[in-house]
Structure 1
Amino acid sequence: MIAPRRFLPSIPSLLALEAVDRLGSASAAAEELSLTQSAISRQLKSIEDQLGVALIQRNQMRLHLTPAAKDYVQVARTALNQIAQASLKLKANPTGGSLNLSILPAFGMHWLAPRLQDFARRHPEVTVNLSTCLKPFDFETEHFDAAIHFGQKNWPGVNYLPIMREDVVPVCAPDLLPDQEQDLSWLMTAPLLHLETRPDAWERWFAAQGRDASGMRGMLFDQFSTMVQATIHGLGAALLPSYLIEDELKTKRLVPAWNGPRISLGQFFLVWPQSRPESEPLRSFRIWLQGQVGPF
């Protein structure tokens, strides 16, 4: 049941309040919303009169929200964003059935994207919208229906569907490899490349080889794609997913930096919030994805 009308201000008044909070003046809010400054003032007075609460503090030339109004506008901002996202979904697929999926860039580009044509063929009624997000987020405040997660089962409040285990391989450019066969010590002193979202990957990899290598430093990257190119051009050795560098290994642009056994530092999962009922588009995608990976 929707709350009584007296508790629901108009969208124009909420937009005016949100803009004033973010921009700090009625004139800036008016310019952004293509209104006059007096129209902004009328909207602010309207919402104050409707709620019976003072929302604005005036300090010289700037407007500030009261502490209580600050909390209120945060909720209103989230609601306005959700309405806008729902409108975009409706416009993109007026017959219904869209799925907003958060993906990890390398996995999305190299593993998921090549397979999505099959899903589109099987489920033409579902529009899949992909957005990149590198870290876990709060499903309650974001517009995503589901996400691709890497690591362990450490994302609270979600359901998990295992997709695949990721094996990593230490690789480098051929010119960086020592001329004489050496033990693992050469790699411990080599320049090492690191990924922001996996800052302890090298330490965990060396630990799996029985070596203590705490506090390792080196160049830091936010995405695998950049790190792959840096590795190819000889900037250092990198731990890279095997599925990501198959072509580079075949063409010898990259070579194994150590021929020990491959290890896994985590798994890929499809995750979706436990707090919401599973939508039909999400259910179709989950069942299709499970068919792609088979039993885990």
Structure 2
Amino acid sequence: MGAVLPLLALRAFCETTRLGSLKAAAERMGVSPGAISQQIRLLEERLEVVLLTRSRYGVQLTEAGASLYPGLSRGFGQIESALLDLQLLTRSSTLTISTQPSFASSWLVPRLADFTARHPQIDVHVQSTAALADLHRDPVDIALRHGLGDYPGLASIPLLAPVLLPVASPDLLAGGPALDEPQDCLGYPLLQEAERADWTLWLQAHGVEPDSRSRRGPSFDEDLLLLRAAASGQGIALVQAQLAAEDLRSGRLVVALERPWPSRFAYYLVTREEHLKRAPVRAFIEWIQAQLALEPSSCVGVGETPV
């Protein structure tokens, strides 16, 4: 191959293989899909072998590509791990937290002044993103995520299981049929979260056999968008109680039916095992657990049920 390694081309190949598409690799590396394709083509020409085949379903490894990828993946992983270890030494008094926009705006940011007052020596940086940070690759200390808690190779600390409430615009309910039982919600348009799962689970939890209507309706990636759609009268949304608190207080939304039920998901604090040794990380974990101990009944502990 020669003495000079084509690192950019090798990384383009690794990211495309890991993520399964040229577009995703391009977003990861901050270039265009065409640039990724060109780098892979140059690598294949240099190696005189085809590494990837492309179809409308994505990319597939050839036999040669399958042979090359594991070693390259380990190598880039070791490089990134070494760089992250170096960053730990150079940012000992900083704390980077990645979380979803809805949780950041409605829960974390309003309380963050208390953490700063208690730990003025720690500089906090909040990254608000819908995508789960890759804690093995990204310079992120802590991720606060709503999920099932299954994060291989990472420390995962359960925080709280939000209660789900059906909420809607008062104008929508005033002009529609009565809502006395959970199945009555099926007579209204249902606003869905991205996976279209929560309405089905909520109905089943209340003894209602859901039908196709429970998965119909527009879906939204973020709870804030779901709340805005509900407030504009587009349908009933099933949302976390604490996220809807401000809209409920203002009257933009009302509880459609008093049948709260904990989500099947919970919020987790996720971090690398070695980050648990850092004083800023330990301080934040202790602080957020103390904050959650003061939460009202709209947020129940993982494994508990609402009363």
Query: TM-score under structure 2 normalisation?
Result: 0.66
Aligned positions of 1:1-296 closer than 5 A: 14-15=7-8, 17-18=10-11, 56-57=47-48, 67=65, 68-78=67-77, 96-134=92-130, 139-179=135-175, 181-184=178-181, 185-197=183-195, 199-215=196-212, 216=214, 217-260=216-259, 262-265=260-263, 266-274=265-273, 278-294=277-293
* Matched-pair contact (CA < 8 Å) for 2:95–2:280: yes
Return 277-286 or 136-145, whichever deviates more: 136-145
Tell me how far apart the structure 1 counterparts of residues 231 and 217 of structure 2 sit (CA, whole Å): 16
- Change in CA separation of 1:162 and 1:288 when aligned onto 2, cut-off 3 Å: same
Aligned amino acid, residue 189 of structure 1: G
User: Shift of the alpha carbon at 1:232?
Assistant: 1.0
Aligned amino acid, residue 196 of structure 1: A
Aligned residues: 252
- Change in CA separation of 1:277 and 1:225 when aligned onto 2, cut-off 3 Å: closer
Tell me how far apart the structure 2 counterparts of residues 117 and 182 of structure 1 sit (CA, whole Å): 41
* Matched-pair contact (CA < 8 Å) for 1:170–1:239: yes
* Matched-pair contact (CA < 8 Å) for 1:157–1:275: no
Aligned amino acid, residue 123 of structure 1: H
Tell me how far apart the structure 2 counterparts of residues 146 and 22 of structure 1 sit (CA, whole Å): 23
> Structure 1: which 5+ runs fail to align?
1-8, 25-31, 33-39, 45-53, 60-64
Query: TM-score under structure 1 normalisation?
Result: 0.68
Return 104-113 or 156-165, whichever deviates more: 156-165
- Change in CA separation of 1:16 and 1:240 when aligned onto 2, cut-off 3 Å: closer
Cα deviation code 1:131-158 (max 9, x no counterpart) = 3454656643444332213244433444
Secondary structure (helix, strand or coil) at the match of 2:113 reads helix
Tell me how far apart the structure 2 counterparts of residues 72 and 58 of structure 1 sit (CA, whole Å): 17
* Matched-pair contact (CA < 8 Å) for 1:102–1:131: yes
User: Shift of the alpha carbon at 1:98?
Assistant: 2.5
* Matched-pair contact (CA < 8 Å) for 1:82–1:143: no
Return 179-188 or 239-248, whichever deviates more: 179-188
* Matched-pair contact (CA < 8 Å) for 2:98–2:133: no
Cα deviation code 1:166-198 (max 9, x no counterpart) = 11210111221155634334311211111115x
User: Shift of the alpha carbon at 1:259?
Assistant: 2.8
Return 75-84 or 285-294, whichever deviates more: 75-84
User: Shift of the alpha carbon at 1:238?
Assistant: 0.3
Return 175-184 or 244-253, whichever deviates more: 175-184
Cα deviation code 1:104-150 (max 9, x no counterpart) = 22111110111122222322332333334546566434443322132
Cα deviation code 1:37-88 (max 9, x no counterpart) = xxx9xxx9xxxxxxxxx973389xxxxx96355444444544565667678x
> Which residue is 1:27 aligned to?
none
Aligned amino acid, residue 173 of structure 2: L
Q: CA RMSD in A?
A: 3.9
Choose 1 or 2 for highest CA Rg: 1
User: Shift of the alpha carbon at 1:223?
Assistant: 0.5
User: Shift of the alpha carbon at 1:252?
Assistant: 1.7
* Matched-pair contact (CA < 8 Å) for 1:167–1:264: yes
- Change in CA separation of 1:172 and 1:55 when aligned onto 2, cut-off 3 Å: same
* Matched-pair contact (CA < 8 Å) for 2:178–2:184: no
